[in-house]
Chain A
C-alpha cells in the first residue's frame, strides 16, 4: 500500500523533507518506523527518541501500536506547542 507520510518541526528538519509517499507493508505505526529507520541514517536520527514523538493517523492523534490498515496519511511530529 502507498501512504502519505508527513513530518513536522525538527522531525522534518532531521529527515530533510516535509512529506513523501511511502510504499509499505507495515501493519502498525511501529512497523513503519522500523522500516524507515532501516532505510537511511536520517530516519534513524529522527526517530531515535520515540517518547519525544507524536503520531497522527488521518489527522487524529494515535499511538505507535495503532494499525495502519485503511490509513491514508501518517504524520510524525514533536509534542505540540500551540497557544
Chain B
C-alpha cells in the first residue's frame, strides 16, 4: 500500500509501471486519474488546500477499509495539493487484484471516499474571480451504496 500527498506533478507512466512492478500474481490492475477541469477554458488555476496529518490519516483509513472489503494485492493513492493548472493530474488511484471485479470495485470505493472524507478543498481561480468548489449532495449520496 502506497500513499503519497505531494505538491509536485507526478509521472503517470512511471507511477503505473512502478505499481505494477511491485506486484506478484495479480491478474488485474485498475488505475484512475483525476484531472483539473478547465470549465470550458475559463479556469486559469486550481488551488488545493489540505489538512496535513489528517489527510494522510484519513486516506490510510480509507485504504485499510478497501483492503478489508476486497481481496487486493495492492493499492496506491497519490493526491496533490497547491496550485495546479488546467488539465493537470490532481490525483491517481491504482488497485490490483487477482480478478478485475475486485480491482474495479475497490477503485470506485476509494474514489467515492476520497471525494468527501479526505480533507482537501478546491478553489477555482478563473476569469470570473475565485470560488471554492462546493461539495455536491451526490458525492455524499455516493457513499451510501457501499
Contacts and interface: CB of A to CB of B under 8 A. Distances in A.
Interface of A: 6, 8-10, 12, 56, 59-61, 75, 77-83
Contacts of B111: 83
Interface stretch (B12-20, B94-102, B128-136): B128-136
A8 B48 CA distance: 11
Tell me what chain B mostly uses at the interface: helix, strand, loop, or mixed: mixed
B120 interface: yes
B65 to A, nearest CB: 14
Contacts of A77: 51, 119, 121
Contacts of A82: 79, 91, 114-120
Nearest to B61: A60
Interface residues of B, number: 27
Nearest to A10: B132
Given A77-B119, A78-B121, A81-B122, A56 B51 contact: yes
